Structure 1
């Protein structure tokens, strides 16, 4: 299935990037400080597992981060592994950052 036509939503009130597929909410929990955004945790419900949702959601979050001119601090293990598989996104990484 193609998820390109589904937008990611930045729910600033609860610091989540949200991605809803078939009525199920996946999310990336984050924290911001200055121009840095810390991706803390990625979660996909059991109903959506094994469908590539996490990767699509991370890619969309990276595009949002780049468009907003933010710098990424990847604290989530899934986000870190995604970066290893997609090194082109290193361009949005913060050199270093502390919460």
Structure 2
């Protein structure tokens, strides 16, 4: 289990792993969370860490009843693979 930290001031979620930091950046306007960027350092690639971070953030948004706009291609693809999160989308018809 990885610890995920949220900094609402910088609008960033960070997951420290083995001296590196996986990050997910977003912009919040009202109750609409636009996810702009997800990054996992090359040294940590292939471990499913981006998925862990994305799932955490989508659960976070769901708990606050926020809508999500996935500008980040990874998050968009994640939602396609995990349709249980489509209800969060501001425009779910884009993902049909």
TM-score range, shorter chain: 0.7 to 0.9
Q: Which runs of 5+ in 2 are unaligned?
A: none
Task: Find the counterpart in structure 1 of residue 3 from structure 2.
Answer: 7
Structure 2 counterpart of 1:18, from 5, 9, 14: 14
Q: How does 1:29-40 map to 2 (within 5 A)?
A: 29-40=25-36
TM-score by length of 2: 0.88
Alignment length, in residue pairs?
A: 92
Structure 1 consecutive aligned stretches of length 4 or more whose deviation exceeds 6 Å: none
| Pairwise CA distance, 1:23 | 2.3
The alignment status of 1:55 with 2:51, answered yes or no, reads yes
Displacement of 1:6 in angstroms is 2.0
CA-to-aligned-CA distance 1:4-50 (integer Å, 9 cap, x gap): x3232211222111111122111111000011000001000111111
More helix by share: 2
RMSD: 1.3
Distance 1:9 1:64 in 2: 12
